[in-house]
Amino acid sequence: MTTANITDAEAGCPSHLEPAFDAAIIDPSPFVRHERDNIAKLELSVHGAHCGGCIAKIEGGLKSISGVESARLNLSTGRLAVAWREGALHPIVLTQKIASLGYRAAAFDPAAAVAEVDREGRFLLRCMAVAGFAMANIMLLSVAIWAGHGGPGGGEMGPATRQFMHWISGMIALPAVAFAGRPFFRSALSALKAGHANMDVPISLAVFLATGLSIYETLNHGRDAYFDAAVMLLFFLLIGRYLDHRLRARARAAAQELLALQATTANRLTADGSVEAVSAHDIAPGERILLSPGDRAPVDGVVVEGASEVDVSLVTGESAPAEMHEGDKLFAGVLNMSSRLIMEARAKVEDSLVADLTRLIEAGEQGKSKYVRLADRAAALYVPVVHSLALATFLGWFFLADGGMRVSVMNAVAVLIITCPCALGLAAPAVQVVATGRLFKEGVLVKSGDALERLAEVDAFVFDKTGTLTLGRLKIASLDEIAPDDLNAAAMLARASRHPLARAVVDAAGAGPLGEDIHETPGCGVEGLVDGVRARFGRADWVGVEMSDANKGVASEAWFKSDDAAPVRFEFEDAVRDAAGDVIAALAEQNVESEMLSGDAQAPAQRIAEAVGVKAWRAQLAPADKIARLEELAQRGVRVAMVGDGLNDAPALAAAHASLSPGSAADASQAAADFVFQGDSLAPVLSAYDVSKRARRRVLENFGFAAFYNACAIPLAVFGFVTPLIAALAMSGSSVIVTLNALRLSSRFRAKEGSWTR
């Protein structure tokens, strides 16, 4: 089995899931896409890649091939995108190169990537269960041994009984260590084969030496054995690794959620006018597609017949539907709401807006996957220092102090155990678990393992408008100017429509009767009998109202007119989220900039920006425009936290340094975000930022304690004053202290009038 290259920064790369690669190399030519400018592109699923080192190895290897323009691997989904100049190479060269690097490539399959992640989680859970069971039983025997022989003074337990208990402990520990240690052993072996050392190398070495020394002591009738230390170490570290895996797994579904919005089948019109159901992948540019109400556009195209209202939130993020007529452009994924449309395809499925958004999301996720955590940075310094000290201890006792093999090995093992990275390994996960639990109680779900660290580093917040700074739900702004009878009459018509403006009227009026003989005209409004009188509710010109130049083009208004009565104007607005202005002001007090990026028009965007106090804002932006702005800020050295809810925000959420999304957001946006907050208030955003900064401080404190502990413990172990058993107890004590420090995060904060008090 060929293993992956793992850098010293990748502590705990789960290489236990690497498949056994066979010699069969698949020709990917049928999956190649030929684009303009003589560029060919191919998307493959890569199996066996688990860390940033894998990304660098695969991307670097492919880019070294003559003719390859770009290679990008998304670690979360396993999707590899390669582009090269037409005619420069045969596609099979790419899969051959990937195989030579120790990985397997096949046609991209999102379901296979998700299944692999699930297998990894189940494997870690089984390892943790085995280690926990073994630790509980061995600790019972260890307590009995210590109570029985009473320490150095002796006791009632005889040597034969103690020896028997050591054998029982060994029989429990050996299979448990062999099974539960596999995530660490295989990762360490992969790192060593690649010429690197990661955090799993000293962990594995300490477990092997503690177990080996325990077997040696048991065979030679020694008084002490250290099986409990080996199994306890594995159990503690597996807890942190499993929790970290669960958090990471939550963030891997963004692309799959977005692809679910793309229609898999379509109704294609044939030359004789008949309709046939075909796969969306079989649609070619120039073909005509029938869109009935409730259908999603399978590809990008233009309307060639009909008029209807279309949900374009995928493109603009706005909840209000847009009117589509002949000649208007439709994007894949938009939802036809009211009337029959015929569209002409202008692109294939793989070139549609949804596919582009998916690629943007994956590009952003790839950038996040390269983030180096604090624990990984510490591991890069820790590993060589500890190994050097252990080796120096062994050589010093064996050659200089003439201590013999047994004493030299015991002292070297004591150094490895007492400096074991248990405290270091738990320093970040312990804080992470407490912080995520604390935020969960405050209505914030943390979805990414390193999200807390990244959010604590941000210098600026970028907010979407609709659904983020606002609630994304229209309400009647002119309710005080509307007579109750007019409101109830309009509601009798509005109850027959699903239009957002009609829904706002129904919400304001509450439950009530429905008018008679009602029918809806797409793009115009609703008409029917209200108490026997003909009435209309909808667009001004359709109702019969003369529009002034000042009011022309106002999308957030509707009119109600009953027979010869004077028309009644309904003005609508999107309500600002609770505490939105307070959050912007609180961030400004901490010298954190705020900016609003919106796909809406200039006028409503300006109104919301002024209402919440955001000075920097931009409107009428496409998804790519939002990413371009984030990249512009990143080039200036600004680390940005993106807060958004729309489908069009998902790529920006994935590309930002950290990201947050409300619980009412689209599934794809929630999947792409690092945090999801509940409720109608924006205050949880500030809470998440505050907790993240405090969590980072706790992690740094834990690292500082681990360094201080090692500085005190290492000299004692090097000079032989600490036995491996005492070292194991000290190691456990350091883990407890690290955990207790993390629990300090559980202190509650409460929001009161925009300020934060303990």
How far is Cα 21 from Cα 315, in angstroms, rounded to an integer? 42
Which tops the pLDDT comparison, 677 or 752?
Answer: 677
- pLDDT at position 726, please? 67
Please compute the mean of the pLDDT values over residues 464-489 and round it to a whole number. 86
**Pick the residue with more confidence: 617 or 299?**
617
Average pLDDT over residues 50-78: 75
pLDDT at 249: 55
Give the model's confidence band at 757: pLDDT under 50 very low, under 70 low, under 90 confident, else very high: very low
Task: Please say whether the beta carbons of 148 and 237 come within 8 A.
Answer: no
Give Cα separations from 169 to 129, 402, 684 (angstroms): 17, 32, 49
90-101: average pLDDT: 83
Q: CA–CA distance from 267 to each of 277, 413, 596 (Å)?
A: 5, 70, 40
pLDDT at 6: 31
**pLDDT tens for residues 385-404?**
777 888 888 888 888 877 67
Q: 3-state class of 69 per DSSP?
A: strand
For residue 191, the model assigns a pLDDT of: 66
Instruction: Kindly report, residue by residue over 418-436, the tens digit of the pLDDT.
Output: 666 556 666 676 777 778 7
pLDDT of residue 241 exceeding 70:
yes
Q: What are the boundaries of each domain within the chain?
A: 15-108, 118-249, 262-353, 444-469+577-695, 473-575
Say if residue 206's pLDDT is above 50.
Answer: yes
pLDDT tens per residue across span 347-381: 877 666 666 555 545 554 554 444 445 666 666 66
**Which of 464, 574, 645, 674 is flagged as catalytic?**
464
Q: How far is CA 403 from the centre of its chain?
A: 53
Q: What is the mean pLDDT of residues 283-306?
A: 86
Asked if 338 and 325 touch (Cβ cutoff 8 Å), the reply is: no
150 pLDDT higher than 70: no
Q: Which fold has domain 444-469+577-695?
A: Rossmann fold (3.40.50)
The pLDDT of residue 425 is: 61
Instruction: Look at residue 353 in the predicted model and tell me its pLDDT.
Output: 61
Q: How do residues 583-608 score in pLDDT, each as one tens digit? A: 999 999 999 999 998 877 788 888 88
Please report which confidence band the pLDDT of residue 268 belongs to, taking 50, 70 and 90 as the band edges. confident
How much is the average pLDDT of 244-270?
59
Query: Taking the domain 473-575, which CATH number applies?
Result: 3.40.1110.10
Long-range contacts of 509-514 (CB under 8 A, 24+ apart): 512/488
According to the model, what pLDDT value does residue 217 have?
A: 80
| Fold exhibited by the domain 15-108 | Alpha-Beta Plaits (3.30.70)
pLDDT tens digits, 287-298: 898 888 878 888
pLDDT score of 13 = 37
pLDDT in tens, 105-139: 776 655 555 555 567 778 888 999 999 899 888 88
Mean predicted confidence (pLDDT) in 181-207:
75
Residue 659 pLDDT > 80: yes
Mean pLDDT of 723-728: 62
Residue 283 contacts residue 330 (beta carbons within 8 Å): no
In sequence order, the 6+-apart residues with CB closer than 8 A to the CB of 245 are 14, 120, 121, 124, 449
Q: With bands split at pLDDT 50, 70 and 90, how would you rate the model's confidence at 546? A: confident
Whether 517 is a known active-site residue: answer no
For every residue of 644-658, DSSP letters joined together read --SGGGHHHHHHSSE
The structure's pTM equals 0.60
Band (pLDDT 50/70/90 cuts) for residue 704 is confident
CATH domain 262-353 topology: 2.70.150
Mean pLDDT of the 713-730 span: 72
Q: For residue 22, what pLDDT is reported?
A: 39
Instruction: Tell me which of 137-141, 485-489, 515-519, 647-651 is least confident.
Output: 647-651
Q: What is the mean pLDDT of the chain?
A: 76
Compute how many other C-beta atoms are within 10 angstroms of the C-beta atom of residue 195.
Answer: 8
Q: Which long-range contacts (CB under 8 A, 24 or more apart) does 521-525 make?
A: 522/307, 522/308, 522/309, 522/323, 522/337, 522/338, 522/339, 523/307, 523/308, 523/309, 523/323, 523/338, 525/558
Burial class (CB in 10 A: 0-12, 13-18, 19+), 179: middle
pLDDT of the residue at 179: 94
Across 271-285, 605-619, 642-656, 692-706, the highest mean pLDDT is recorded for 605-619
**What percent of the chain clears pLDDT 90, i.e. is strictly above it?**
11
**Confidence (pLDDT) at 589:** 92
Q: Which of 112-121, 277-286, 360-369, 617-626 has the lowest mean pLDDT?
A: 360-369
Q: Which residue has the higher pLDDT, 551 or 511?
A: 511
Where residue 463 falls among pLDDT bands split at 50, 70, 90? very high
| 226: pLDDT strictly greater than 70 | yes
Predicted confidence at residue 145, as pLDDT, reads 74
User: pLDDT over 70 for what percent of the chain?
Assistant: 73
**Closest to 172 in 3D by CA, of 231, 127, 124, 117:** 231
Lowest mean pLDDT among 121-130, 133-142, 247-256, 277-286: 247-256
CA angle at residue 368 from 681 to 191, to 5 degrees? Answer: 140
Give the confidence band of 12 by pLDDT, cuts at 50, 70, 90: very low
8 Å CB contact between 110 and 257: no
Both tokens assigned to 339: 């009337």
pLDDT at 223: 72
What does the pLDDT average to over 739-746? Answer: 74
Please tell me the total number of residues recorded for the chain in this structure: 758
